[in-house]
Amino acid sequence: MTERNVRVRFAPSPTGPLHIGGVRTALYNYLLARKLGGTMILRIEDTDQNRFVPGAEQYILEALAWCGIVIDEGVGVGGPHAPYKQSERKPMYRQYADQLIADGFAYYAFDTPEELDAMRARLQAAKVPNPQYNSITRTQMRNSLTLPEDETQALLDAGTAYVIRLKVPRKEEIRFQDMIRGWVVVHSSAVDDKVLMKSDGMPTYHLANIVDDHLMDISHVIRGEEWLPSAPLHVLLYRYLGWESTMPQFAHLPLLLKPDGTGKLSKRDGDRLGFPVFPLEWHGIDGETGEPTVSRGYREDGYLPEALVNFLAFLGWNPGTAQEIFSMDELIEAFAIDRVSKSPAKFDQNKAKWYNEHYLRAKPNAELAPYLLEALAAHGLSCTPEKAAQIVGVMKERVSFPQDFWQEAKYFFDAPMEYDATVVAKKWTPQVADALAAYADALPGAPIASAEGLKNLFNQTVEAQGLKPGQVLQALRVAVTGAAAGPDLFETLVILGTDEVAGRLHTAVERLGAPAA
């Protein structure tokens, strides 16, 4: 017997933007597939047409591509099991529902919405904690288990609306092994008779999911913890359809919690705390007002995809070492599903920012220069790619996001109009102004091309004025940049050029006070 090929699937519903938790699920599927030489499949589960949102499917494809999660087979790629949208697979599900009925594992239910409401009201009045259609309540409802066979057939022939429900056994332990949680045991009394086929002929998620996973030969189902309560139902479906021997291995991922750990992370939490919960910006419509809305995305907020991926990988998984920085290839090599935690993971936005800072600083200056050039163009400014690379090179230790380069680097293109008042009050004296004026006079035409050379000239000039360099250094920075702090000062002077620096120094001396006579 040959070992089974590894085939995993990410199966989102196109009901809106992809939540960051969904991206993590896709990532873990992808890492396992690549680690074990398997196939990554994308399937769109759109059986609930009422919740379909235009643009959501394309958003999913774009988000996965941006994160570097490569789809081998499925929507947008194709493959031997097409189509990969459940709405396009509708005709194939009915036969399996019919098979379950024929084998006594499912039944027709003709209950009207009013009858279902009345059933729930009776159960609530009887203080039943979780009213549901199950092995007990079905005996009092209008279905093919309680109606005579001829009456059931007459209702079907007359076109009476019905759903098909799974017939869950009354007293049975349902057990399966979860790759993260170990053995999971659920009593069938806790499982309701879920609808498998809706009255419009569309399958529910439960039936379509199982049929598709079987037909696509899925070997591992890695999904969020919110699907754990549905797993016993899915195990029954595999058993009743005769597919238990090829049932995929399950792994239910831990929840992503709010930063304070008090509940599941939601868009509202991101809005409240000031960070995105979607990989890309989402343009939608407010369900209540009908007005256009824009939700923030990690891409548009300035996060690098490799930083986001590294951050998400550690939300529930760890490599068992102190290493925190992993490329995608290194994640693939290190990933093991048994190192995924059962415990929920708190979403730490500061850690996401830390990862972004690391990846920004590790990038070559030439790769970062376009971010600054783009911002300059938007402000009607320009410089050479070489100069932009120099500027981001001295700035990247001080920024968290690419858009920060422009904010931090404005003074390279605009001489300061104002000067840090605290530094001026503490450091600006007539003697300091004299020293800066002397330095300005020494700069033009000086054969100096390095930060070290400019620093040496500064030290010599200041000492000739009877001062120590430390007494003048901060005033020099403020006179040239307007700010009290920044990147290496003499690297900054090199980029600005000696003529520009001399001009700024003379301007500052003139504005802040002339040298002593």
* Residues that are catalytic: 267
3-state secondary structure of 382: coil
Tell me if 479 sits within 8 A of 407, measured CB to CB: no
Residue ranges of alpha helices (H) inside 337-403 are 349-362, 365-378, 385-395
Tell me if 46 sits within 8 A of 80, measured CB to CB: no
3-state secondary structure of 176: strand
CA distance 154 to 115: 20
3-state secondary structure of 160: coil
CA distance 11 to 43: 5
What does the CA dihedral 119, 120, 122, 128 come to, rounded to 10 degrees?
A: 130
3-state secondary structure of 106: strand
Residue ranges of alpha helices (H) inside 323-364 are 328-334, 349-362
DSSP assigned state of 353: H
Cis link prior to 83 (omega < 30° from 0)?
A: yes
The 10 Å Cβ neighbour count of residue 456 is 13
Distances (CA, A) of 233 to 160, 185, 221, 237, 287: 27, 12, 14, 6, 32
For the chain, how many helices (H) and strands (E)? 20, 14
Please report the DSSP string for 14-64 in residue order. Answer: -SSSPPHHHHHHHHHHHHHHHHTT-EEEE-B----GGG--TTHHHHHHHHH
Nearest to 251 by CA among 25, 31, 85: 25
Could you report how far apart the first and last alpha carbons of the chain are, in Å? 97
Please report the DSSP string for 247-315 in residue order. Answer: PPEEEEEPPEEPTTSSSB--HHHHHHHT--SBSS-EEEE-TTT--EEEE-BTTTTT--HHHHHHHHHTS
